[in-house]
Amino acid sequence: MHPRQERFCDELLENPLFATPPPEPERPRPPFIRRPRVFKLRSEQLLTKELNELWKDTKHSLIMGASLPFILFKTDKIDRDIHDPAFDKPPGVQRTKVAMEIWVVGGSKIGKVIIELFTDVAPRTCQLVVPNLYCRCGDVTKDNGFGCYVPDGETDPMGAENYSLKHTVPGVLSMAVSSDNEVYGHFNIVFKPLSQFDGKNVVFGR
């Protein structure tokens, strides 16, 4: 570089317009003020009945969430106020109760389903309950949906006994009927009222 050009560059760099500005002084941070938390409360107090219902739902959710790592059946909330007098047990009648345990294959026990049988309404249909039946809606002979359960001492499946009771409340247990009007061992457990099942499935428990 020519000495004159070099001197010009030095003078240009020494110009205050190109000098690095001094750092700005640090500004003090404002003091942290913790504001009190505001809680909104209902103007009226909850009734004891409302608190009991809330506790039942919360307890049920906690138990189900702690015992089940997954959800088997996603259903709507069951309406507890639905009632049908036809399912009430007549005085002096003792109905049989059976239990069905549900397990995860290779895992732990999920729970037990207790079923009340209407032996006074459909006694022959109640005899089709097989002990230790796994949850596959029946078919304990071929395990593929084409099996048929025949009562002891008979060679043919029994026919539909009656359609006296309807699928009007959650938890109703009914036996499926084929197009030939034969009860072949498949059963239904409904989670809500299902009028489309009436006249096609024999209700025999809940």
Give the pLDDT confidence of 123-162 residue by residue, as tens digits: 766 655 444 432 335 655 555 555 666 667 777 777 888 8
Greatest Cα pair distance, the chain, in angstroms, is: 124
Identify the pLDDT of residue 30: 81
DSSP single-letter state for residue 151? -
pLDDT of residue 130: 41
How many Å apart are CA 116 and CA 94, to the nearest integer?
Answer: 10
Q: Return the pLDDT at 129.
A: 47
105: which DSSP letter? T
The backbone torsions φ and ψ at residue 60, rounded to the nearest 5 degrees and listed phi first, read -65, -40
So what's the pLDDT on residue 205?
86
Pairwise CA distance, residues 58 & 65, whole Å: 10
Where do we find the tokens 């009945």? Answer: 49
pTM over 0.85: no
Rounded CA separation 176/185 (Å): 7
Give the integer Cα–Cα distance in Å for 90 and 70: 39
SS3 of residue 10 by DSSP: helix
The pLDDT assigned to 153 comes to 74
What are residue 62's phi and psi, to 5 degrees? Answer: -65, -45
CATH numeric code, 85-205: 2.40.100.10
> Which residues of the chain register pLDDT less than 50?
129-136
What's the pLDDT at 133? 32
Q: How far is CA 205 from CA 63, 160, 170, 187, in A?
A: 26, 15, 11, 11
